[in-house]
Structure 1
Amino acid sequence: MLEERDVQIRGYKIRLPLDVLLVASANPEDYTNRGRIITPLKDRFGSQIRTHYPLETETEVAIMRQEARPASVGSVTVNMPHYMEQVVATFSHLARGSNQVNQRSGVSVRLSVSNLEVLGANALRRGLRAGEQVVVPRVCDLGSLAASSSGKIEIESMEDGREGLILENLVKAAVLTVFKEELSFEQVRDVLAAFEEGAIVHTGDDVPSADLARLVAEVPALQAPVARLCGGDESPAALAAAVEFVLEGLHLSKRLNKDITSGSGAATYRGRS
């Protein structure tokens, strides 16, 4: 009926006015992030339908906020800071441009939505263990992104066991990208000076937010970059997340050393001198 636009009834041609709404979907193999025409839909409906993944991270973040289900248990709430949303969206964008990811299979926005939910859930788990009522995802929660993306992104590698490493490197690249967008070197110069004088910071799942939040008062150089990231939120969870993000950004910029305790997820940041 869609193809011929009429119906034959015992030799009589009857043309029926159609008033229908068509909903169609396509496999990733049927289109690319460059917006190619979806061939199967064109063949069936004669329509010039074009599609593409979000070209800007802000667009992807808006979709993530709309579609993701916030994590919460009882009175415990999870507040997702904008820079962590940007990390999730940037992770997907970097994966779409990586030659280690099968671009024919694609990296859909559904992955970003799922990763945002998993990040919030992992932070909620940590907060429940620490007895916190307000939880903000931290860098130590980002390990969940590589785990949740495994199997949803098709990695092109000839070596077995490289999938996890490739995904972890994409997460690190996303953090570094967002860090450079959010903070300039001038804003963190004094933080580096504090670590060169011997400051040491321990982070990880088992470190309460209050402990990291106290560093803002103990290391005055952290106040300016942390305030910029928090955007007025002075809760211990928000301050802790911002502190950890600044330290991880400096580490990925090769300006701080980071010692990781295998198996526990705990980390220690120290100066390079």
Structure 2
Amino acid sequence: MSDRPDIFTVGELRAAGHVHKDLRHEIRDNLIAALAAGRDPWPGLFGFSRTVLPQLERALIAGHDVVLLGERGQGKTRLLRTLAGLLDEWSPVIEESELNEHPYEPITEQSRSRALTEGDRMRVAWRHRSERYVEKLATPDTSVADLIGDVDPMRVAEGRRLGDPETIHYGLVPRSNRGIIAINELPDLAERIQVSMLNVMEERDIQIRGYVLRLPLDVLVVASANPEDYTNRGRIITPLKDRFGAEIRTHYPIELDDEVSVIRQEGKLVADVPPVILEILARYTRALRQSPAINQTSGVSARFAIAGAETVAAAALRRASVRGEDQAVARIIDLETAVEVLTGKIEFESGEEGREQGILDHLLRTATAEAVRAHFQGLDMGPLVAALDGHTTVTTGDQVTAREFLENLPSLNGSSLYDKIGERLGAQNDGQRAAAVELALEGLYLARRISKESDDEETVYG
């Protein structure tokens, strides 16, 4: 963050050559400057570069209010929050102004009076761009007073006349003047509350209890919503939808790498989770989104894979703590713990009652098999299959350490297969090598080349 400008009065602001821009010109100029310089205006967003982001950039350059439509967990809120990065880092306001008015253009009666009496001596304050982005989660109990404002009975009781503008307590939208207001889950607003937004969106003024306050608000309204065929809680009324200049559909990541990047960025992992584990979780999530047994209108959120990665990491840390491992590294065996706790994050189609766990297990096996083919294709697993000759077995489990697992692997009679397996996955330590060999064993089982028996404590390949 750069230092706050050392300017304290309107006179100093004019002397410094400051030029006032309205909000839409400010966003447009900063966006175009970033694009021209090759800077990414959308840090931390994956999978939207050729679809959503070009549409959003065109909408902002055109100066449109925007509504994002998409299923849960598609990154709508994160995308809206990045809009604050398109604002000037510091912006001048009239000091103690309730509506963050620009010193050159006061809009309330009180500020205009101050401008006339104080002139160039009027005090200036500075707002950081982070203070100019306001987010409101729409809930059914949201009132007009919350968004627009209402008469303040305490000010009336002090003796002010009822028509005095100073009796008004402004809501969230007027207080967001010269900034961005984001309304999450817009259809959850009651229809009468949505009606109160119409003047703000079109005429840029507000009406409170019959007062028509001609306040030329300078605010960008952005919103998120689930598609109408999913949400049963409400809808965006037609006049309000018509006032949004752009309606943009979001989507889940199209490329596998983007899905993995989202998990890696958003997951708060308390242990080392090898890339192949994240890849399997990403493949698993994508398989769920394509399964006819899953209710696709509700979507399979990216939070599913993120929570899965965090659970897998927690299982690794728990094992390391209990068994005294130096390094906590997640392995294939830990994926089963994720499935056990994630069932509630999925909505199944009617008629699938009782089959939920079987469906999840099957899709996890499918995702694991895909990862095995992607990484071990062309690698001869014959020596490992031969070593498991019906008498020799390999035991693993969520309480088996990586060192114990590796020490109990059968000898391959001089073959370097274990090293090759580790190299394919870039293994750097015992935990990562154990994860790689476990994946190879699981792949052989899924290919029906070896057997597998599991109970609550251990899994035996043989």
With the length of structure 1 as denominator, give the TM-score of the two structures.
0.82
- Give the whole-Å Cα distance in 2 for the aligned partners of 1:2 and 1:145: 46
Residue 257 to residue 16, structure 1, CA distance change in 2 (3 Å): same
Following the alignment from structure 1 to structure 2, what is the Cα–Cα distance between the partners of residues 43 and 151?
A: 37
- Equivalent of 2:261, from 45, 56, 62? 62
Q: How far 1:180 moved relative to its partner?
A: 0.8
Where do 5+ consecutive residues of structure 1 fail to align? 32-37, 72-77
Q: CA separation of 1:117/1:201 partners in 2, compared to 1, >3 Å: closer, same or farther?
A: same
* Alignment partner, residue 419 of structure 2: 223
1:46 paired with 2:245, answer: yes
1:173–1:8 CA distance, 2 compared to 1 (3 A) = closer
> Which residue number in structure 2 is paired with residue 19 of structure 1?
219
Shift, 1:197, TM fit: 7.7
108 and 11 in structure 1: CA distance in 2 versus 1, 3 angstrom threshold: closer
Q: From the CA coordinates, give the structure whose radius of gyration is larger.
A: 2
Question: Equivalent residue of 2:247, what SS?
Answer: coil
The answer as to whether partners of 1:127 and 1:134 remain within 8 angstroms in 2 is: yes
Question: Residue 269 of structure 1 aligns with which residue?
Answer: 461
Separation (CA, whole Å) in 2 of partners of 1:111 and 1:251: 26
2:448 paired with 1:254: yes
Letter in 1 for 2:202: E
Question: Does the C-alpha gap of structure 1 residues 201 and 8 become closer, same or farther in structure 2, counting only changes over 3 Å?
Answer: closer
Q: Which moved more, 1:104-113 or 1:199-208?
A: 199-208
Deviations 1:133-186 (A, max 9, x none): 212111211112212321111112525321111111111111111111111143
TM-score (norm 2): 0.50
Moved over 4 A (4+): 8-15, 28-31, 38-44
What is the CA distance between 1:14 and its match in structure 2? 4.5
Q: Partner of 1:2: helix, strand, or coil?
A: helix
In structure 2, the CA distance between the partners of 1:109 and 1:175, relative to structure 1 (3 Å rule), is same
Distance 1:127 1:61 in 2: 25
Measured in 2, the distance between the counterparts of 1:48 and 1:114 equals 30
- The CA distance in 2 between the partners of 1:202 and 1:111, in whole Å, is 29
Summarize deviations over 1:87-133 as a string: whole Å, max 9, x none. Answer: 11111000000001000110011111111111111111122111112
Q: For the residues of structure 2 that align with 1:119 and 1:188, how far apart are their CA atoms?
A: 27
Q: Tell me whether 1:203 sits opposite 2:399 in the alignment.
A: no
Question: 2:212 and 2:323 mapped to 1: Cα distance?
Answer: 76
For residue 44 of structure 1, report the CA deviation from its aligned partner. Answer: 5.4
Give structure 2 stretches of 5+ with no counterpart.
1-198
> 2: distance between equivalents of 1:133 and 1:94?
35
Distance 1:8 1:237 in 2: 62
1:84 pairs with 268, 277, 281, which one? 277
Q: Residues 13 and 203 from structure 1, CA distance in 2 versus in 1: closer, same or farther, beyond 3 angstroms?
A: closer
Per the alignment, residue 144 of structure 1 pairs with: 337
Could you tell me how far apart the structure 1 residues matched to 2:227 and 2:264 are? 23
Task: Look up the match of 1:35.
Answer: none
Residues 224-253 of structure 1 show CA distances to partners (whole Å, capped at 9, x for unaligned) of 112212x150x2211111111110111112
> Structure 1 residues 24, 144: closer, same or farther in 2, change over 3 A?
farther
Mapped partners of 1:193, 1:53: distance in 2: 43
Aligned to 1:170: 363
User: Structure 1 residues 241, 44: closer, same or farther in 2, change over 3 A?
Assistant: farther
On the 8 A contact 1:6/1:15 being kept in 2, the answer is: yes
Structure-2 separation of matches of 1:122 and 1:189: 32
Of residues 175, 179, 190, the one that matches 2:372 is 179
Q: Which residue of the other structure, out of 112, 130, 133, is the alignment partner of 2:305?
A: 112
Q: 1:65 to 1:43 in 2, by over 3 A?
A: farther
Task: Report if the CA contact (8 A) 1:187-1:224 is conserved.
Answer: no
Supply the RMSD in Å over aligned alpha carbons: 2.9
User: Cα distance 1:126–1:165, how it changes in 2: closer, same or farther (>3 A)?
Assistant: same
Which residue identity lines up with residue 222 of structure 1 in the other structure? Y
CA distance in 2, matches of 1:24, 1:3: 12
Tell me by how many angstroms 1:43 deviates: 4.5
